Amino acid sequence: MTANTSALVLALTLTLCGAWPTDALAQEPSTASSVVQFFVHSDPPDMTMPWQTDGASLYGGSGVIIDGNRILTNAHVVEYAVGIEVKRADASERFSARVTFISHDADLALVEVEDSRFFQGTRPIPLGQMPKLEQGVQVWGFPEGGQTLSITSGIVSRIEVDSYLQSGRRLLSTQIDAAINSGNSGGPVIGGEAIVGIAMQALEEAENVGYMVPAPVIRHFLEDVEDGHYDGFPRLGVRLQNMESEPQRVAAGMRSGQTGALVMRVDYGGPAYGTLRPRDVLLAIDGHAIANDLTVASPLIGRVHYSMIYQSRQIGERVAVSLLRNGQRLTKTIELRAHTPLVPGRRTTELPRYLVFAGLVFQPLSADYFDYFRRPPPNLVSVPWNHGVTKERREVIVLQRVLPDPVNRGYQNWEDEVVRLVNGVVPRDMTHLAQIIDRAQGRWLRVLMEDGHLITLDRAAARAATERVLESYGIADDRYLGSDPRPPRKRRKRRR
């Protein structure tokens, strides 16, 4: 070795040891250090017997560490959790965790770990922007089939407003062609060095067609909970019809080249109630013109469903709307308030509401109720899902089942019947139903179903039999109404 060569070797050695010490390289947190494996013991309610639960089961999932020592994952990974443990991809120790905020609408949740050791040697992964079509992405997580970290690659193949399985809510969604399997849920989808989405669901009928919650929806959720309270994603409380028919446009008084959407329905008490009317033509929201096919132009996405415009805003904000009413152009504002549709999607992980009277089990219809059954109950298939909240009805009340007792003989095989009237009164919601029954007078209590079937009970005998039914079936309380000021008593599980 010559002197010059020796000097070069020494210089390289000093450079490597000085500028890039091996210790520093070893300590530099990797992306894997911020990918989290979930072990969740979940005990969901039994929707057929809402006073008890199904029993705990262990589920797996994925998540990612973001700023503020928070873990971001899917709502469906941690819903109904009675115990949560998490483990980093680069470590072996499990740590206890708990949910701090959950959004069933967007299928997102924030989880915290009190033990600060969990976050030592990690770096939070920043939240990026909305990915573009054909952009390359990587899905990180812990799918079934192994215990170690899995990374799959693909591209963004579609961006649109689509239904989220967790809630049935239509929000901005991104389709990717990377494999997403059971256990991937909640894991980060990374583009470049940032999170561009959270893996949430896959299309079973196709290969490598997965969906993620995109960055704008994640950012909305994170900004929402900054005040310590989750408000949700706004609704207008309207139902619109496209205006692709030229006669429809002419009859509505629209000029040539003018586009918009016909207002079919305005929910009673909803954000647009009192501002929009049926037969109005909604032309624009916050300056974004609505096309005749119910889409708007987005510079980052292209054409997308009009609902994305107001869903990107927070509850409490206002949006400006332009409309035609009887041929006259008007501009108005709508305050985006919380609004629940007649048949809601998943709302919270609270215990399901119910009322038991004389063995008749009443519940409100919701996505939770439907999702419990592999096939929708035949009697509920024709329920008017698209009907809105009215002054008379804010929920659809269902006779879920009848617990057999001599007092209800003749009705014991009835189930999944929509209730129309109780003693001639439309029950607005579960609390109103309880009031009708509790305050009923006269000899008879009559419950008329939507299909015309009628239950007639001797009111005094039915009231006397209720306690007997509760004792026979191991039910601790005849009701849980959610907003009821009386907290439900501790519930006993019935041996099955």
Q: How many domains does the chain have?
A: 4
Kindly list the catalytic residues. 76, 107, 185
Same domain for 283 and 323, yes or no, is yes
Same domain for 475 and 417, yes or no, is yes
Torsion-angle region of 410 (φ positive above 0: left; ψ -120 to 50: alpha; else: beta): left
Cβ-based neighbours of 353, under 8 Å, separated by 6 or more: 50, 363, 364, 430, 479, 480, 481, 482
Q: How confident is the model over 167-184, as a mean pLDDT?
A: 89
Indicate the residue among 206, 227, 248 that finishes a domain.
227
Question: Which residue in the block uniquely carries the two structure tokens 């549709």?
Answer: 341
Same domain for 360 and 463, yes or no, is yes
Does 21 fall in a domain? no
Same domain for 222 and 243, yes or no, is no
- Token pair of 110 as six digits: 């924030």
Does 345 fall in a domain? no
Cβ-based neighbours of 284, under 8 Å, separated by 6 or more: 260, 290, 321, 322
Same domain for 91 and 165, yes or no, is no
pLDDT band for position 15 (50/70/90)? very low
Res 13: pLDDT: 28
Does 14 fall in a domain? no
Whether 6 has a pLDDT exceeding 60, the answer reads: no
Res 384: pLDDT: 58
Cβ-based burial of 446 (10 A; exposed 0-12, middle 13-18, buried ≥19) = middle
Same domain for 476 and 363, yes or no, is yes
Q: pLDDT tens digits, residue range 366-405?
A: 877 877 765 667 777 666 556 788 999 999 999 999 999 9
Of 456, 452, 429, the closest CA to residue 443 belongs to: 456
Where in the sequence is the domain holding 282, given as residue range(s)?
A: 238-335
Q: pLDDT tens digits, residue range 73-123?
A: 999 999 999 999 999 999 999 999 999 999 999 999 999 999 999 999 999
Q: CATH number, domain at 65?
A: 2.40.10.10
Whether 334 has a pLDDT exceeding 80, the answer reads: yes
Q: How confident is the model over 442-463, as a mean pLDDT?
A: 96
Name the percent of the chain lying above pLDDT 70.
Answer: 88
Q: How confident is the model over 283-292, as a mean pLDDT?
A: 97
Same domain for 313 and 359, yes or no, is no
Same domain for 223 and 244, yes or no, is no
Whether 146 has a pLDDT exceeding 60, the answer reads: yes
